[in-house]
Amino acid sequence: MAAKTFTGVPCPRFCPGDRLLSKSQIDGGRRNHRRNICPRISAASSSSEPSIRIAAEKLRFDSKVETLLDRVKWDDKGLAVAIAQNVDTGAILMQGFANREALATTISSRKATFYSRSRSSLWTKGETSMNFINVHDIFLDCDRDSIIYLGKPEGPTCHTGAETCYYSSVHDLLEGPKPDQDRLASTTLYSLEATISQRKDDIEAEENGKPSWTKKLLLDKELLCSKIRSRRTYPDSFGE
């Protein structure tokens, strides 16, 4: 009796989608054979490609971070000065220290992270008070031994409740203690904005003597508009 012939062969046992292959499929080559025998394996391989790419990109990024950390000039204790600066106002918020892990954590979390010399551990600004500093960018100085975290604070930075830790002017301290007249170390433009804001808050308050020029401008919109127009026409006349 002649042996029975089959028009196809079964898929190997390890493939969950068993089916018969035609002779033309078998003769189509190894790649075609694999693709048709194990469609689920092929699909699984295809679906894993994005994960593989993400893992590869993360590996490359981590490698770049390590290279950057190697270029920082850490001191003999593995530390560098780390300064937090307000991205909007330019005000210096605080100063601490960072080691490799603190800088790497800041890069990955975008939260200003420092190294506590007293506790010998990392700490993220805001982990207790919730007044985080959201880091927008990080800068190294020309010697690469000092770091700036340029970010936006979510609340007061100083433990005293002040906006920054720098609010005591040496000039004021030399003239005499003025605890009620602390002022922030800020840029000229921000100082001007703060002054105008303060004058605006004082408009409705009773005040003896001649009102300031700024207050006059804030009270009289027509005068303010005319001064702005004058400034555009005669740039040197604004301070008159």
Which SS3 state, helix, strand or coil, does residue 103 take?
Answer: helix
Whether 51 contacts 116, CB under 8 Å? no
- pLDDT attached to residue 217: 72
- pLDDT attached to residue 175: 79
Please name each of the domains of the chain with its CATH number.
Answer: 70-153 (3.10.20.810), 187-231 (no CATH)
Give the pLDDT band of residue 115 (cuts 50, 70, 90): very high
d(CA 138, CA 189): 23
β-sheet bridge partners, residue 86: 151
In angstroms, the Cα distances linking 71 to 102, 140, 145 are: 15, 10, 9
- pLDDT attached to residue 53: 77
Burial status of residue 158 (CB atoms within 10 A of its CB: 0-12, 13-18, 19 or more):
middle
In this prediction the pTM is: 0.59
- pLDDT attached to residue 138: 97
Say which residue, 162 or 237, is predicted with more confidence.
162
The conformation of residue 186, written as its DSSP 8-state character, comes to -
d(CA 126, CA 135): 13
Say which residue, 119 or 219, is predicted with more confidence.
119
Q: What is the pLDDT of residues 38-97, one digit of tens each?
A: 555 455 555 567 788 777 777 788 889 999 999 999 999 999 999 999 998 888 999 999
H or E segment to which residue 60 belongs:
helix 39-71
Whether 202 contacts 214, CB under 8 Å? no
Say which residue, 48 or 135, is predicted with more confidence.
135
Q: Which residues contact 227 (CB under 8 A, 6 or more apart)?
A: 217, 238
d(CA 4, CA 50): 47
d(CA 62, CA 104): 9
Q: What is the pLDDT of residues 140-191, one digit of tens each?
A: 999 999 999 999 999 999 999 989 999 887 877 787 655 555 566 666 666 6
Number of H-type helices and E-type strands within the chain: 8, 8
- pLDDT attached to residue 191: 67
Give the pLDDT band of residue 100 (cuts 50, 70, 90): very high
